[in-house]
């Protein structure tokens, strides 16, 4: 049987502050509809210059630690060459070099293969747009 490709775009409200949104349940729901028990790959992509995707433990403090680390590395101040948008916005444009805008994950028997306590999260440092898109694509 030839491989199949299925894709969907999610839109989520991210508000006007730096945030992390757990996408794990949305990824699993998409795979229930798209994978039909097959093996393959799930690609997750966000097309925004101030957002990235991380595989990280959530709820135990690691998510807050990641945001704090990013604030330390990419402070919202006037040091950035890129000065469009709100003050300090330029640092957010460096985010995808540290937290990439994509992740490709294994799908086994139609289910996302993550390690213990791992979650798929959207990391958003942009404060100028209250909404973000994430594209989920299954190839199997």
Model-wide pTM > 0.85: yes
| Structural domain 5-139, CATH architecture | Sandwich (2.60)
pLDDT over threshold 70, residue 97: yes
- Give CA–CA dist 96/112, Å, rounded: 23
Mean pLDDT value across residues 81-98 = 75
Please state the domain extents for the chain. Answer: 5-139
pLDDT in tens, 25-50: 999 999 999 999 999 999 999 999 88
Q: Which residues contact 98 (CB under 8 A, 6 or more apart)?
A: 52, 70, 73, 74
């Amino acid at each position: 049987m030839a491989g199949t490709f299925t894709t969907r775009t999610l839109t989520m409200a991210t508000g006007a502050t730096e945030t992390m949104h757990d996408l794990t349940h949305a990824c699993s729901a998409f795979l229930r509809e798209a994978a039909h028990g097959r093996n393959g790959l799930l690609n997750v992509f966000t097309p925004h210059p101030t957002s990235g995707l991380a595989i990280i433990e959530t709820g135990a403090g690691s998510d807050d630690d990641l945001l704090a680390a990013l604030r330390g590395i990419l402070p919202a101040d006037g040091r950035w060459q890129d000065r469009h948008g709100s003050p300090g916005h330029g640092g957010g444009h460096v985010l995808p070099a540290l937290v990439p805008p994509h992740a490709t994950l294994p799908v086994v028997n139609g289910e996302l293969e993550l390690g213990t306590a791992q979650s798929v999260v959207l990391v958003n440092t942009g404060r100028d747009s209250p909404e973000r898109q994430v594209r989920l694509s299954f190839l199997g």
